[in-house]
Amino acid sequence: QADKPPPMQVTSSASRMLILQSLVAIASNLTSAQLEAFTSRLTDALFKLPSQTVRRDQADLSLAMGEHLKKNGPMFCRAVANRINHLLLQEIHSINGAGQSGFGHEAKDLSLVSFDEMENKVLIGNISKAIELDSSEVLGVLNLRIANLLGHEEASLAQNPFRPAVFLQAVHDAWRELDSAVESQNLVLGLLRPDVFLKLAPILLALN
């Protein structure tokens, strides 16, 4: 179990960024160590899906994607690792830039977001809920620690740069590099259950 966070303390922007960057390195390294096993679980899930669906088109697509991932596993692992690191760095720059004035990185102009991007974010948000439940305690403590680091009383999950949705987005982005078809992207997203996805609890515990 994660320890309770220390009392709230305010640090300089430069100090905060150094701490956050060190956390990104930890998260990236621990994620990379899991990628081969995760890719294997996802490949198995793709091959098993045809026996769990009555839709012939979905069964055929799942088998084809399973073969595709089996053949291109190393490329997929590299893409996930790159996207995890990129998105986490993007997240910490956003929250550190908000500084003492509060968390502002969620206030993106929705007029600049495409319909597909909005749809993906909603789908990823829904899928992440099951993963969040698996790690609710350690996530809650990490939320408090991030808030403490930034000099705030509390922070919501949406303001945590290491929330499950960011890892899901990285996997989704990596799959898009592997296959551009929307049908396959949605199929893979639907398979990212807690038993298939990256094991986030030990990563979050290390961050705490």
| CB of 193 closer than 8 Å to CB of 48 | no
Nearest CA to 22 among 106, 80, 117, 89?
89
Place of tokens 């084809």: 64
The amino acid occupying position 37 is A
Name the pTM for this structure.
0.85
- Alpha carbons 138 and 161: distance in angstroms, whole number: 14
Tens digit of each residue's pLDDT (9 = 90 or more) over 140-167: 999 999 988 888 877 788 889 999 999 9
Tens digit of each residue's pLDDT (9 = 90 or more) over 36-50: 999 999 999 999 999
- Read off the pLDDT of each residue in 12-25 and give the average, rounded to a whole number: 91
Nearest CA to 163 among 184, 139, 186?
139
